């Protein structure tokens, strides 16, 4: 009598598949067809007027948050919290906020301003051309 895979084997295989899928989705933006279909590289994401000084705006479909820490200085970070992979909820009082567990990140460099997250938000490449902010 042949025995099928154990529960542990199935769980490990499932976890490995999920990890592999997650790595390709977040580690290599060029392989994400959903993101590139919505906003191709160099396509306008927003305008500079849409990003408040000392604040920011979340672009859910592109999984990016754009901030303006100081007048004329624009930054972009992933909008996926490094703690439990929840999408961040808002930008206020100089931080990017995840309401799942209370993590907060600096709008200046994505560093952790309030745990439980221990890793900063990954920076995304943007370019500013005139009044347009382009996702690179």
pLDDT value at residue 16 = 46
For the domain 38-135, what is the CATH superfamily, name and number?
Rieske [2Fe-2S] iron-sulphur domain (2.102.10.10)
pLDDT value at residue 42 = 79
Digit-by-digit pLDDT tens for the chain (136 residues) are 556 566 555 555 555 444 444 433 333 333 333 333 454 557 899 999 999 999 999 999 999 999 999 999 999 999 999 999 999 999 999 999 999 999 999 999 999 999 999 999 999 999 999 999 999 8
Q: Are 84 and 22 in contact (CB under 8 A)?
A: no
End-to-end Cα distance, the chain? 57
Closest CA to 88 of 70, 113, 69: 113
Residue with tokens 């000084």: 53
pLDDT value at residue 41 = 57
Q: Are 133 and 48 in contact (CB under 8 A)?
A: yes
Residue with tokens 């899928």: 21
Residue 34, Cβ neighbours under 10 Å: how many?
A: 10
Give the residue extent of every domain in the chain: 38-135
């Amino acid at each position: 009598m042949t025995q099928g895979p154990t529960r542990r084997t199935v769980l490990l295989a499932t976890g490995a598949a999920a990890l592999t899928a997650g790595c390709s989705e977040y580690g290599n933006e060029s392989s994400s067809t959903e993101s590139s279909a919505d906003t191709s590289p160099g396509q306008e994401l927003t305008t500079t007027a849409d990003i408040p000084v000392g604040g920011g705006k979340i672009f859910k479909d592109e999984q990016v948050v754009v901030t303006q820490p100081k007048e004329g200085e624009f930054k972009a970070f992933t909008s996926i919290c490094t703690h439990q992979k929840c999408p961040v909820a808002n930008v206020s009082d100089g931080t990017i906020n995840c309401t799942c567990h209370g993590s907060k990140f600096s709008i200046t460099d994505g560093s952790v301003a309030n745990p439980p997250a221990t890793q900063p938000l990954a920076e995304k490449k943007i370019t500013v051309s005139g009044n347009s902010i382009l996702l690179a």
